[in-house]
Amino acid sequence: MKKLFAILWLLLFSFIIQAQDIEVYPTHWWVGMKWSTVQLMIRGKNIAESVPMVKMRPEGMALAPGVRLKQIDHAENKNYVFFDIEIDATAKPGWITLPFVGKKGVKYELKPRREGNGTLYAMGVTSEDLIYLIMPDRFSNGDESNDRIPGMLDQSLRRDTVFNRHGGDLKGIQNHLDYLYDLGVTTLWLNPVIENDMPERTEHGYAFTNHYRIERRIGGEKAYKELINALHAKGMKIIQDAVYNHVGTEHFLFKDQPDSSWFHRWPKFTQTSYKDQVLFDPYASQVDKKLMSDGWFVTSMPDWNHDNEMVQKFLIQHAIWTVEEFGVDGWRVDTYAYNDLHFMNRCNQALYDEFPNLTIFGETWVHGVINQSYFCANNFAIDFKSNLQATTDFQTLFYGIQPALTEPFGWTEGVNKLYTTLAQDFVYKNPMRQVIFLDNHDLPRFYSVLNEDTAKYKAAFAWLLTTRGIPQMYYGSEVLMTGTTHPNDGYVRQDFPGGWQGDPANKFTEAGRTKKENDVFHYIRKLANFRKSSSAIKTGKLMQYVPYEGIYVYFRYDDHQTVMCVMNTNDQPKILSLDRFSERLQFFTKARDVVTDQIVSLTDPLQIPRYTTLVMELQ
């Protein structure tokens, strides 16, 4: 009787194992990848009970021609088992069976690689591009059926408050690609698109809850693929927003942790110090370094432990998987300075190895060119060398264009700060990769920073679209959207007018914009489209001249074209003698004003209106 009972129990247990939900991450992989030893996380209720502690031979267990199971690791939590599989160059696409899991094992797919690595996808984003940053929830609602998803924790849908979801989605973005292309945009950067199933403030997307799901309230995987395919069909590109530092408290790996070493732990909630200096300070204490890197951002965002090799593999594999699965062209890394930098080098290199043309830039909200350059490829002879290509260039914003247009001119003030900041570009391996901007989802809108002075605003955009680096503009900037981060950053994340049915004005159309909005829109559009065909601006050199009396002059030039830019930061017109610029003017006698198409003589002094940046193609 006891023997019969034991047999029945084993049969019942096997049925339960087969019937239960089993998740495998990554959900699939590809043959022909350089990352050929893949850590598979297998998750299910008490899944470890069905997987024996098998000691593999050195050659591993053959699963298919060219595919071998090399290692099985059990976690403290019996809901997890980890299989390491090795996929060599002879492996073919198809299905393999992961043994021991349940009665018949688990089927796992190896796919053929996507065609066009570096030419049709993973193309990289360069100084030839213009990036347009969009928060999907706040741009346009193209599919009202996904505004609320049953079972998700945040069921809010209120456009009359900045705190809740508004319903914008990927289809809404796709519906306006013609508008963006006409504006001169070449690349979209979207705030995170990965699932963010948190109970509140979920519109920004920076608290992931499942890395292998695209947020269903913006359309899910199908809509993301359709958007990227539509972008590529128009010759445009996509940047994905990556977060390696933290997740949301509702992430399944935090709620159901494989063991206690996957996240940084403190006796009580401990926030990061935000003091990036300690990472390169030769006199810094270890306690300050630990607080900076291991402290949490906020209570709802647990901090990954990058010392854990399984965590490293999980994050690196997800990055590779994402680029290959969706055809991403660029990778923006959130809160870069707060990650373990040695881990970030390893992660970046894995992406470079797999996708040689892919570009990666990191958010480095720090203060000082030295601080910023530490986190990307630089020319310092120091122990730690970052392989990050570039950063979001907060220095040319905070210590450059912003004081140039908000401070009186002085020996070290006003536009002299812009000149001085750019003069320090010698620290970067390639300053042309730096991503320059006027505002983003965390900052006051630049039109509000300038107290809605349209002349200053145009001058700022002329600089953004002509100086060195990769320009990034924030959605709605072209139609004079306003907002500050006080009392809440939601006020810089307002809806694009016209993105929802029933909006009283549609700023996507000429007729829906005011005269002032159209004036600025066409100004930006003219410069952005000129930039598309300007070799000097896209890839040429920069020569700048020391500012005098509030006037800053710089040239962009190559063997085929010279563009002269003159920024007057004074509240009154100025007359500029050109004798000082003969080194670049050489034999040029006239120029075409790029915005007005008027011909300007270079034999006479220039007259520059107040708060104006002239952009002139020399002839």
Is 334 part of the annotated catalytic residue set? Answer: yes
Annotate 77-141 with three-state secondary structure: CCCEEEEEEEECCCCCCEEEEECCCCCCCEEEEEECCCCCECCCECCCCCCCCCEEEECHHHCCC
Where would I find the beta strands (DSSP E) of 351-482?
A: 359-362, 390-391, 435-437, 470-474
Query: Pick the catalytic residue: 334, 393, 478, 617?
Result: 334
CB 216 within 8 A of CB 149: yes
> Closest by alpha carbon to 186, among 194, 177, 195?
177
Q: Distances in Å between the alpha carbon of 326 and those of 222, 237, 583, 589? A: 10, 12, 48, 50
DSSP string, 482-514: ---SSS-GGGGSPPPTTSSTT-S--TTSTTTS-
Residue type, 298: V
DSSP string, 38-51: EEEEEE-TTGGGGS
**Sign of the CA dihedral running 96, 69, 77, 303:** negative
> Closest by alpha carbon to 445, among 487, 417, 474?
474
Within 10 Å of residue 90's Cβ, how many Cβ atoms? 9
Annotate 258-316 with three-state secondary structure: CCCCCECCCCCCCECCCCHHHHCCCCCCHHHHHHHHHCECCCCCCEECCCCHHHHHHHH
> Closest by alpha carbon to 137, among 475, 483, 477, 446?
475
Helix-helix angle 454-464:515-532, to 10 degrees: 10
- Cα angle value 553/556/561 (rounded, 5°): 130
Residue type, 182: D
> Closest by alpha carbon to 351, among 307, 387, 376?
387
Q: Which CB contacts under 8 angstroms, 24+ apart, belong to 523-526? A: 523/458, 523/461, 523/595, 524/183, 524/184, 524/461, 524/465, 524/473, 524/477, 524/478, 525/182, 525/183, 525/184, 525/478, 526/594, 526/595
Query: Pick the catalytic residue: 363, 439, 478, 517?
Result: 363
Which helix (H) or strand (E) covers residue 543, if one does? strand 541-548
Which two three-digit tokens encode residue 544?
A: 């700048």
Active-site positions read 334, 363
